Chains A and B, each alone.
Chain A
């Protein structure tokens, strides 16, 4: 962890100037400084601002921002806590800045990826050409818990199975972005992206002005337009609702936030009923037909007639209404097969198959532990790799080799041998690091990037997305449920 000595000309000096005194570079890509310790051009204004910043004033502005978050109830609930503790989503003051050129690659890459994945979902729920040609093994699909046979042959409006996706990107040491994983079921976090932007504008108005930052506030409108485009064709003025599991769900704040931003009704399962395969909501003015449901309830709980019979969160008969083409439900049922972590390894092949193009954004090398060779290698190198359970999210069910104890590795060895299909492994990545304002100093922390991709009659990606940061020093886990936080992401116009 060498501290790069100052060059003496001032603008790139690390290690000597407050508040960068504790800033170090290592082999990971640094978002702000190049290998020589010079601030990258897009960070120049921020760098200069930080040299003259008064930490007390900045801390005061941060407290004001914290209070604003709390008063507005921008919180999340952590599972496993008694009484469902609501906490402010931790965030860091300093924006993460991307150039227009960097964003262009990301945007094109993600557009390509979501298009290919929608083709893939249509294919495996219909003819299955990609399976017939042996590109993706059948067993992988049919052994996936999230593959829903109920979706076979069911027509989907515009063939869009995934209309809202959150894809996690990491920046590799050579500066390229790569895809870490796709989230195609009920990805969350976009409300933090939107509120971060509000808060940062309050903390750094002058700085924001000096940069030409692309806006993100249009997300609500873009999402609404996307949902509207997925209404059944014979419903020209569709009624759109957001289906939430309710107040006890950890992402409830986001559900209310988005419903408000879009001006649509926020409903729970008990507000809806199905009659003659048409979905209605129960209002004081009588039943009102529903045309599109943006559902934030998992497949399993969506319809007690079609899926889990004990679900209290769903609507009996909603899947039939969907099958009959009388209501749009998005993301469609059964998209989880495409964000299965084992399928991830095949996504580059999927892109080539449907788009006849090379993937613009590459994958991370992945070992599939149901393959004997891969498993043998990984079990031999458990202390070097990251092992993940294929169906989990939130950073749970994960082993980070270099930071694990012998006991933890033994535990995972047993789990892998018991159920190899359930695990994949990847090399421990040096996630890129970005400057964070911690204890009145600027320090480097690992970050990733989650842009949100909307796919309706067209693909729309709001510039930036959620930069998640592992706030604990040295930690690589960015998930909010385990000590992660977020940063505002600025995509510049130039």
Chain B
């Protein structure tokens, strides 16, 4: 397929995943605020913004919750939910003929509703509804994509976009939490528990975790679940497996040999397949997570180099 089209499908998918992740994070944190000690608010909201890779600085006079939600809801802000969805839709529009009409209608509907219903910054009753509508809208789009699009090259670029974004975002979120982990000294009674629940819920993982490990929340088990679980769809390992599978299929469909992107993805997957949580925890966890974030970025760049922006001289003489 045309390189430009592959690129647009990839980015459409990444932006949607980003919007969903952001919406969930904000939603979870809004609820957590209710259970937190008031003095901790600035720190937590700062962490949320850091987890989203947005500037964490907080103007001292504002309500931290309002400020943070304002950032993600502000249409003018490049990193806001609305901006992500607008970018996704713009990419979809450029390749409208490559996606099914159901997909186009859904992403268009989502875009229009986000524009129309963006609530005021700060926590109002409508904020939760808005964030849920974004999450559900993206889920619906992903479901429609799987159901109505041929699982060929284009579909695999969409998968790739989603899992590259997810791997990086999950690792970044974990890094922020583990760099300042909740302990009995830092938060109020029961506060530690609330923070871990917040982390798990941010990855839709609380119930799944409990089913596997019971409600005994331990930092090593949480790390194991969110990094190394082979079956939980939001773990880093699961994302890495899907990245590798899609890359392999794309390489086959395009008739290209395995390139740098496949090697990077294979290496990442192998380190996760054979990783052990006690080794990870006893080593430098933060560095480990930062490395994953870096690798996800490198995979994205390698895909772009290999399939989209390859230099023509090399390609023609090959």
Taken residue by residue from 247 to 281, chain A's Cβ proximity to chain B (1 for < 8 Å, 0 otherwise) reads as 10000000010011000011110110101000011
A287 beta carbon closer than 8 Å to chain B:
yes
A286 beta carbon closer than 8 Å to chain B:
yes
In contact, A267 and B2 (Cβ under 8 angstroms): yes
Q: Which of A247, A259, A284 touches B94 (beta carbons < 8 Å)?
A: A247
B4 beta carbon closer than 8 Å to chain A:
yes
In contact, A271 and B97 (Cβ under 8 angstroms): no
In contact, B316 and A247 (Cβ under 8 angstroms): no
Cβ of B308: which chain A residues have Cβ within 8 Å of it? Answer: 282, 284
B148 beta carbon closer than 8 Å to chain A:
no
State A68–B3 Cα separation when bound (angstroms).
32
Cβ of B250: which chain A residues have Cβ within 8 Å of it? Answer: 284
State A392–B269 Cα separation when bound (angstroms).
61
Q: Which of B3, B93, B104 touches A284 (beta carbons < 8 Å)?
A: B3
Taken residue by residue from 270 to 302, chain A's Cβ proximity to chain B (1 for < 8 Å, 0 otherwise) reads as 110101000011111111000000000000000
Cβ of B312: which chain A residues have Cβ within 8 Å of it? Answer: 273, 275, 280, 282, 287
State A273–B310 Cα separation when bound (angstroms).
13
In contact, A284 and B316 (Cβ under 8 angstroms): no
In contact, B96 and A284 (Cβ under 8 angstroms): no
State A280–B312 Cα separation when bound (angstroms).
10
Cβ of B316: which chain A residues have Cβ within 8 Å of it? Answer: 275, 280, 287
In contact, A287 and B315 (Cβ under 8 angstroms): yes
State A273–B104 Cα separation when bound (angstroms).
29
State A126–B105 Cα separation when bound (angstroms).
52
Q: A266-B97, A275-B316 are in contact. Are A281 and B2 (CB under 8 A)?
A: yes
Give chain A nearest CB distance to B200 CB in angstroms. Answer: 38
For the side of the interface on B, what is the size category?
Answer: 20 to 34
State A71–B102 Cα separation when bound (angstroms).
10
In contact, A286 and B318 (Cβ under 8 angstroms): yes
Q: A273-B312, A275-B312, A275-B316 are in contact. Are A284 and B6 (CB under 8 A)?
A: yes
In contact, B96 and A256 (Cβ under 8 angstroms): yes
State A243–B156 Cα separation when bound (angstroms).
26
B153 beta carbon closer than 8 Å to chain A:
yes
State A247–B318 Cα separation when bound (angstroms).
33
State A265–B253 Cα separation when bound (angstroms).
17
Taken residue by residue from 254 to 289, chain B's Cβ proximity to chain A (1 for < 8 Å, 0 otherwise) reads as 111000000000000000000000000000000000
B307 beta carbon closer than 8 Å to chain A:
yes
A72 beta carbon closer than 8 Å to chain B:
yes
In contact, B3 and A271 (Cβ under 8 angstroms): yes
Closest chain A residue, CB of each to CB of B153: A284
Give chain A nearest CB distance to B50 CB in angstroms. Answer: 35
Give chain A nearest CB distance to B89 CB in angstroms. Answer: 12
Q: Which of A260, A273, A275, A282 touches B4 (beta carbons < 8 Å)?
A: A282
Cβ of A71: which chain B residues have Cβ within 8 Å of it? Answer: 101, 105
B76 beta carbon closer than 8 Å to chain A:
no
Cβ of A268: which chain B residues have Cβ within 8 Å of it? Answer: 4
Q: Which of B93, B97, B256 touches A259 (beta carbons < 8 Å)?
A: B97
Cβ of A273: which chain B residues have Cβ within 8 Å of it? Answer: 312
Cβ of B253: which chain A residues have Cβ within 8 Å of it? Answer: 285
B34 beta carbon closer than 8 Å to chain A:
no
State A477–B316 Cα separation when bound (angstroms).
52
Give chain A nearest CB distance to B251 CB in angstroms. Answer: 10
In contact, A271 and B2 (Cβ under 8 angstroms): yes
Which of A246, A256, A266 has the most C-beta atoms of chain B within 10 angstroms of its own C-beta?
Answer: A266
State A247–B93 Cα separation when bound (angstroms).
8
Give chain A nearest CB distance to B318 CB in angstroms. Answer: 7
State A266–B318 Cα separation when bound (angstroms).
26
Q: Which of B2, B101, B318 touches A265 (beta carbons < 8 Å)?
A: B2
Closest chain B residue, CB of each to CB of A278: B316
State A354–B84 Cα separation when bound (angstroms).
61
Q: A71-B101, A259-B97 are in contact. Are A286 and B2 (CB under 8 A)?
A: no
Give chain B nearest CB distance to A276 CB in angstroms. Answer: 9
Cβ of A259: which chain B residues have Cβ within 8 Å of it? Answer: 97
Other 8 A-B pairs with CB < 8 A, given A73-B104, A283-B254: A247-B94, A271-B3, A275-B312, A282-B2, A282-B3, A283-B3, A284-B3, A287-B316
4 closest Cβ contacts across the A-B interface?
Answer: A285-B254, A284-B307, A282-B3, A256-B97
B residues in contact (CB < 8 Å) with A: 1-4, 6, 93-94, 96-97, 101, 104-105, 153, 250, 253-256, 307-308, 310, 312, 315-316, 318
Query: Could you pull out 11 A-B pairs where Cβ atoms are within 8 angstroms?
Result: A71-B105, A73-B101, A247-B96, A256-B96, A259-B97, A271-B4, A275-B316, A281-B2, A284-B2, A284-B308, A285-B256
